[in-house]
Amino acid sequence: MADNSTPTNRPHAMENRHSLGTLAVSPLALGGNVFGWTADEPASFAVLDAYLAAGGNFIDTADVYSAWADGNSGGESEAVIGNWLAGRGSSVREQVVVATKVGAHPEHRGLAAETIKAGAEDSLRRLRTDRIDLYYTHFDDESVEVSEIITALDDLVREGKVREIAASNITPSRLQASLDFSSREGLARYTALQPHYNLMSRDTYEGDLERLAAREGLGVMPYFALASGFLTGKYQPGRQPEGERASRVAGYLASERGRRVLHALDEVARAHDASPATIALAWLAAQPTVTAPIASARKVDQLPALLAVGDTVLKEGELAKLTEASA
């Protein structure tokens, strides 16, 4: 078992907590999409141990992670996290908030009531726990009425299998209809939203969805917070990107906007003696509705730049520079 003692450079601000209904979460959510994919179990355990030791408590995964990888069928990330939780004991389980999602696993596609409930049972088994702290609908399924979706989720909450419910990849109109149904019927209500949002993808959240989240008091956890690694600064114009996400990154590098964003990130990062990744996450964290960006790490040495977001406060001029560059 890895040493979970407090490191001397522990970023104190990671212990700050934000509320999501009954849950209290740290200002950076650790993405589990790499666990069981580009990070094997020992590497994943090391990252999880280091994140916990640094004051983090919010782990984000999904039942579909990582069905796209050769030899995988989905649920690999949940299984890794479940093995970690089982190995670390009940005290660690009580410390962490585990979020997972339903609706995209090859065996549980869509959001029919029976699919949601079967997906939850499989996630609980893989996570080796008695409850899911935050349960997302991964992608909205407009073939199913919001009444059926919310009622199924409410059943799980009433059974004690889920603590809070949330939505991801949903239109403002469907999200509003879901919230209205919950309020009208006195059922469990979405407390959080997970949109695609970063300096390179702003119109996927800003506008109607952002206004709705603010009006309804939803916690917001952006995914792809570092634009598939583009905003870490490791990809530069003139260099051919490599790795699992090379094709997406190549598109960012080829655009004038992408080069503007990298330049602005470098300038602000130098002023803070920080990495571009930290600054990109700090810009997200400074947006009024954002609760905790989601970012993943394959190796422990990638964590410090992510964890530093809790201690990084950007000046108004720096925020404006990044906002303008990414417009």
The answer to whether residue 65 is catalytic is: yes
Burial letters 56-66, b for 16+ CB under 10 A, else e: bbbbbbbbbbb
Following DSSP, what letter does each residue of 25-85 receive, concatenated? E-SSEEE-TTBTTTB-HHHHHHHHHHHHHTT--EEE--TTTTTTSTT--S-HHHHHHHHHH
Residue 151, domain CATH: 3.20.20.100
d(CA 195, CA 314): 23
d(CA 25, CA 133): 11
Q: Give me the count of residues in the chain.
A: 327
**Residue 115, domain extent:** 15-194
Neighbours of 312 (CB within 10 A): 20
Alpha-carbon distances, residue 160 vs 130, 157, 163, 188, 315 (angstroms): 8, 5, 7, 12, 43
| Residue 6 confidence (pLDDT) | 36
Within a domain: residue 110?
A: yes
Task: Record the tokens describing residue 186, joined without a space.
Answer: 């006195």
166's CB contacts (< 8 A; 6+ apart) are 20, 99, 134, 135, 136, 137, 190, 191, 192, 193, 194, 219
* Number of domains into which the chain is organized: 1
Dihedral angle, C-alpha 272, 277, 281, 283, nearest 10 °: 50
Give, for all 327 residues of the chain, the pLDDT tens digit: 334 433 334 445 888 999 999 999 999 999 999 999 999 999 999 999 999 999 999 999 999 999 999 999 999 999 999 999 999 999 999 999 999 999 999 999 999 999 999 999 999 999 999 999 999 999 999 999 999 999 999 999 999 999 999 999 999 999 999 999 999 999 999 999 999 999 999 999 999 999 999 999 999 999 999 999 999 988 877 666 666 567 778 889 989 999 999 999 999 999 999 999 999 999 999 999 999 999 999 999 999 999 999 999 999 999 999 999 999
Within a domain: residue 123?
A: yes
| Residue 236 confidence (pLDDT) | 79
Q: Collapsing DSSP states into helix, strand and coil, what is residue 222?
A: coil
| Residue 251 confidence (pLDDT) | 86
d(CA 218, CA 313): 23
CA neighbours within 13 Å on the CB side: how many for 286?
20
| Residue 128 confidence (pLDDT) | 98
Which residues partner with 103 through β-bridges? 109
Within a domain: residue 233?
A: no
Within a domain: residue 6?
A: no
Within a domain: residue 177?
A: yes
Within a domain: residue 140?
A: yes
| Residue 238 confidence (pLDDT) | 64
Within a domain: residue 113?
A: yes
Within a domain: residue 5?
A: no
Alpha-carbon distances, residue 101 vs 105, 117, 164 (angstroms): 9, 12, 12
Task: Record the tokens describing residue 164, joined without a space.
Answer: 């809070």
**Catalytic option among 51, 65, 136, 252:** 65
